Structure 1
Amino acid sequence: MTRLFCALAALFAVAIGCSAAMAQGESRFTGLKLSGDQPIQIESDKLEVRDADGLAIFTGNVNVMQGETLLKSTRMKVFYAKSGDGNEQAAPGDSMQSIERIEVDGKVYVKTQTQVATSDQAAFDMATDTLTMSGKEVVLSDGPNVIVGCKLTVLMSTGEATLDGCGKKEGSGRVKMLLQPSSRSQ
């Protein structure tokens, strides 16, 4: 499985597993069942590659699709790590292993078969295996069950997740959750 696939899959993991895991009181994300053999299709109005900066920028109606999973946003930036000698950036086509982080912004929307996650921005840091979704509201829904906060941080290696409320200071405020008892049997 390539690092690009892992990074995009991490963004998808929020929509696939987060609301179900939180609703069941689990600490791990259990719904990520994507297969490395499924192609990832990326479409955008424009692609800008800055080799010297080690950066690829997809802008305008960005759609990332894999199987039944869809990520939409206004912009997606893919940052490439420096090559082994530390002087040159790895070019985007060189190796998927060279991806350092992915940043997505502009009304981020992730949808799977039954789950949806929305935020203003999302980022995946490859070195720390950390996914962060943030904004005015981060909304995770699975059918009628909804969780709302302002900053979701997920350590993908352990599945440990923290959802901060929407107070004036980061980490203050309240997280809101609506669970429908009838949905537990589904």
Structure 2
Amino acid sequence: MRHILLLITLLLSTVCGAFAVSAQTALSLDGFQSDPEASVEILADRLTVSQTNGAARFEGNVVIAQGDMRLSADMVDVTYLEAGGIGHLSASGSVLLVSPTESAQADSADYDLSGRELRMRGAVLLNQGPVSLSADLLTIDLDTGGAVMEGRVRTVLPSGSK
């Protein structure tokens, strides 16, 4: 009887530990570091500018480039700083972020240029060479390249054999 209780306790602790690990994963995304001084170029099929707050909406085949990073989406809302320059980008629809070494896709993304943080939400898929990770939320610190993935994190690692 004690063996059965020990086995059940061990099994439950293993399962609970697996759930805790799957809830959040920290990783490094050095390829997503960007140069905050680099200019931002935006291409789109359509641009609408609000006269009341100066915000802009880019729609259709939107591509945003800053240094080596490229972000593409169906639609991007841009909020400008009072002093000039871009403060915040909100992208939605087939969001794809690409650097020379990594790529990430999601349903939506929020890029805080002032805070140097990028948050991707909804069906996030991250590829780093042969390693693939998926989650509900990916938060990247663009100064350090540090990142956290949350919400049912799944990691696929290569086996090491060919």
TM-score (norm 2): 0.68
The change in CA–CA distance for 1:58 and 1:38 in structure 2 (over 3 A counts) is: same
1:22-33 equivalence runs, <5 A? 27-32=27-32
Give 1:39 deviation, angstroms.
5.6
Give the match for residue 10 of structure 2.
Answer: none
1:95-106 equivalence runs, <5 A? 95-96=84-85, 99-106=86-93
Q: Flag the structure with larger Rg.
A: 2
**Aligned with residue 148 of structure 2, among 143, 162, 179:** 162
**1:144 aligned to 2:122?**
no
The change in CA–CA distance for 1:115 and 1:75 in structure 2 (over 3 A counts) is: same
- Separation in 2, partners of 1:132, 1:140: 13
Give the match for residue 86 of structure 1.
Answer: none
Structure 2 gaps, min length 5:
1-24
Aligned Cα RMSD in Å?
Answer: 3.0
1:1-186 equivalence runs, <5 A? 27-32=27-32, 34=34, 40-66=40-66, 69-81=69-81, 83=82, 95-96=84-85, 99-126=86-113, 128-135=115-122, 137-157=123-143, 159-165=145-151, 174-182=152-160
Structure 1 gaps, min length 5:
1-24, 84-89, 166-173
The change in CA–CA distance for 1:145 and 1:106 in structure 2 (over 3 A counts) is: same
Task: Name which structure has the greater RCO, CA cutoff 8 Å, separation 6+.
Answer: 2
- Separation in 2, partners of 1:125, 1:50: 20
Q: Deviations over 1:143-168 (max 9, x none)?
A: 32100001112344554432112xxx
Give 1:180 deviation, angstroms.
1.3
In terms of fraction of residues, the more strand-rich structure is 2
Give 1:55 deviation, angstroms.
0.3
The share of aligned pairs that are identical, in percent, is 31
Q: Which amino acid aligns with 1:72?
A: S
Aligned residue pair count: 137
